[in-house]
Amino acid sequence: MKGESSTRPMTTCLFQLRALELGIRKQDLRLYSCGEIFGILAEKSNDRFKWPRLATQKDIETLFPR
């Protein structure tokens, strides 16, 4: 995946290819839901994004007060 968007519909074969690109073998697909696979793909595509600000520990504590 090079980051370009695709207009191709998601087929079973394409889904299996994307899972394989993530290192998930065909026989292991039953261990994951489609949503989990799509979530991992989304996170992978975000890896190249240059975030303007990274969260600090203080930011996390503000979101999740004790």
Q: In tens digits, what is the pLDDT along the chain, a chain of 66 residues?
A: 555 666 888 899 999 999 999 999 989 999 999 999 999 999 988 888 888 888 999 999 999 988
Count: domains in the chain: 1
Residue 4 lies in a domain: no
pLDDT at residue 2 in the model: 55
DSSP the chain: --S----S---HHHHHHHHHHTT--GGGGGGS-HHHHHHHHHHHHHTT---S-PPPHHHHHHHS--
Residue 48 lies in a domain: yes
Residue 56 lies in a domain: yes
Q: Which domain holds residue 18?
A: 12-63
The answer, as to whether pTM is greater than 0.85, is no
Residue 5 lies in a domain: no
